[in-house]
Amino acid sequence: MTNFGEEALKRHKQLKGKISVSLKDNLDSRDKLSTYYTPGVATVSSYVAEHPNEARDYTWLNNSVAVISDGSAVLGLGDIGPYGALPVMEGKAMLFKHFANIDAVPIVLDVHSADEIVAAVTAIAPSFGGINLEDIAAPICFEVEERVKEVLNIPVMHDDQHGTAIVVLAGLINAMKITGKNLSDCRVVVVGAGAAGTAIIKLLYLYAEPEILAIDSKGIVSHDRSDLNHDKKKLLEFTNPKNINGNLENALKDADIFIGVSKAGVLTTAMVKSMSKDPIIFAMANPTPEIMPDEAVKAGVAIMATGRSDFPNQVNNALAFPGIFRGALDNKVAKITDKHKIAAAEVIASLVENPSKDAIIPSVLDERLVPEIAKVIV
């Protein structure tokens, strides 16, 4: 069996990274050099300066995205700083290019306050057609995304939040078809009230208004808690209408759906058995999920999804973000909205023609994903 960690170290060192810049034409004559650079480029610069709205027609703004992180919440590794984040941002840029033919540039910032990140992103934004925020820790990530979206007139998305939420919704749409349940009638328990968990809660509520309970490290997020920060207080607008208190075990009794974006091992077989008939488990902690699939199946789970590629039903952000940005760039969409996210989720779900317990989400390698999602980002 391949040791992917060792193989990754070997290949990254051999290639010295995994992305590079390519040219759309070659400089094989003096005429071309004079056309693309001085003196010819001065005419282009003057024209674009006078007609800034046409910049995307004369530069790479029509097909470029900045992938930006401060390294404060990288994968499951935590705050490992900008250098630690760079291989992941390069990987994200690689996915943009491979799946959507978008020229993405990895940018890591050695600043960590909301003010500093917003200032840095907005300062470099004129160089890009879109901004993909990545691996920025909660709760700062919420403020950063909202403030950047307010001041920029190009598509901005924090993929850790919204990419995950979109794919979760897509999977649940098909899970409902298999189990015969209605999402609006379900009790959903979301474990992990950070970036991904918050976005999942908001998108599910907007789509179907199910009863949702959010769980953080101290238990159920409720009105009786005095330790909630601003963002967790806002979660109460979408969760816990009955003001239930307690822990995960209390929350899961008779629940229909478990969504985990937390840590390994928090879900036990006893908890699964306490859920309603045909429970649905999305255990997305990486690399080890909240419960292993074999344990969940023994406990009676109807549908199981994880964040891993070696199990069925991988919840992978790469199903969503390439097509969303492809559509936003091609259709000149300035803001990625909740309507776009729901439309993308419905498209992803529709690409599974015959959903089954082991096939509720299409493969990330499905070539239909990007063009079909791009069509609805208008």
How many angstroms separate the CA atoms of 250 and 221, rounded? 12
pLDDT at residue 343, as a whole number:
98
Secondary structure element (H or E) that encloses residue 97, with its range:
helix 81-100
CATH architecture of residue range(s) 159-378: 3-Layer(aba) Sandwich (3.40)
Percent pLDDT > 90 in the chain is 94
Measured in degrees and rounded to the nearest 5, phi and psi for residue 119 equal -60, -45
Q: Which of the residues 92, 149, 181, 202 is marked catalytic? A: 92
The answer to whether the 4-158 and 159-378 domains have the same CATH topology is yes
pLDDT at residue 247, as a whole number:
95
pLDDT at residue 234, as a whole number:
93
Contacts for 118 with CB less than 8 Å, ≥ 6 apart: 144, 147, 148, 151
Count of beta carbons in the 10 Å neighbourhood of residue 197:
26
**pLDDT, tens digit only, all 378 positions of the chain:** 788 889 999 999 999 999 999 999 999 999 999 999 999 999 999 999 999 999 999 999 999 999 999 999 998 788 999 999 999 999 999 999 999 999 999 999 999 999 999 999 999 999 999 999 999 998 999 999 999 999 999 999 999 999 999 999 999 999 999 999 999 999 999 999 999 999 999 999 999 999 999 999 999 999 999 999 988 999 999 999 999 999 999 999 999 999 999 999 999 999 999 999 999 999 999 888 999 999 999 999 999 999 988 899 999 999 999 999 999 999 999 999 999 999 999 999 999 999 999 999 999 999 999 999 999 999
Domain limits, the chain:
4-158, 159-378
How many angstroms separate the CA atoms of 52 and 306, rounded? 45
pLDDT at residue 4, as a whole number:
86
pLDDT at residue 42, as a whole number:
97
pLDDT at residue 310, as a whole number:
87
Using the structure block, give the residue that is written with the tokens 């964040």.
Answer: 307
Query: Is 37 considered catalytic here?
Result: yes
Q: Which of the residues 18, 37, 47, 339 is marked catalytic? A: 37
| The CATH number of domain 4-158 is 3.40.50.10380 | yes
**What ranges make up the beta strands (E) of the chain?**
64-69, 103-108, 130-133, 156-158, 187-191, 211-216, 219-220, 257-260, 280-283, 303-306
Q: Label residue 112 exposed, middle or buried (CB < 10 Å: 0-12, 13-18, 19+).
A: middle
| One-letter amino acid of 129 | G
pLDDT at residue 287, as a whole number:
82
pLDDT at residue 83, as a whole number:
97
| CA–CA distances in Å: residue 69 to residues 123, 137, 183, 326, 346 | 15, 10, 34, 21, 29
By C-alpha distance, which of 172, 170, 166 is closest to 188? 172
pLDDT at residue 2, as a whole number:
82
The two tokens of residue 18 are 């995994």
The two tokens of residue 8 are 């990754």
Q: Name the DSSP class of 156.
A: E
Q: Estimate to the nearest angstrom the gap between the alpha carbon of 335 and the chain centroid.
A: 16
Query: Is 92 considered catalytic here?
Result: yes
pLDDT at residue 241, as a whole number:
95
How many angstroms separate the CA atoms of 196 and 297, rounded? 25
State the angle between helix axes of 140-151 and 114-124 in degrees (0 to 180), rounded to the nearest 10: 30
By C-alpha distance, which of 248, 240, 96, 259 is closest to 168? 259
Is the peptide bond preceding residue 279 cis, with omega within 30 degrees of 0? no
